[in-house]
Structure 1
Amino acid sequence: MKQWEKKFSAWINTNELIYVETMKQRIGRSLIYGRLLSFNMDEQFIQLYNDDDKRVDMIPFKEIDQIGSTKER
Structure 2
Amino acid sequence: MLDHLGREFLHRALTSYDVFVHLPVEFPLHDGTPPIVEHFRVLSDRLLLNTLHAAGAPVRTVSGPLDDRLAALVALTGA
Normalised TM-score (structure 1): 0.32
Normalised TM-score (structure 2): 0.30
- Work out which structure has the larger RCO, using CA pairs closer than 8 Å and 6 or more positions apart in sequence: 2
Q: Which has the larger share of strand?
A: 1
Question: Which structure has the bigger radius of gyration?
Answer: 2
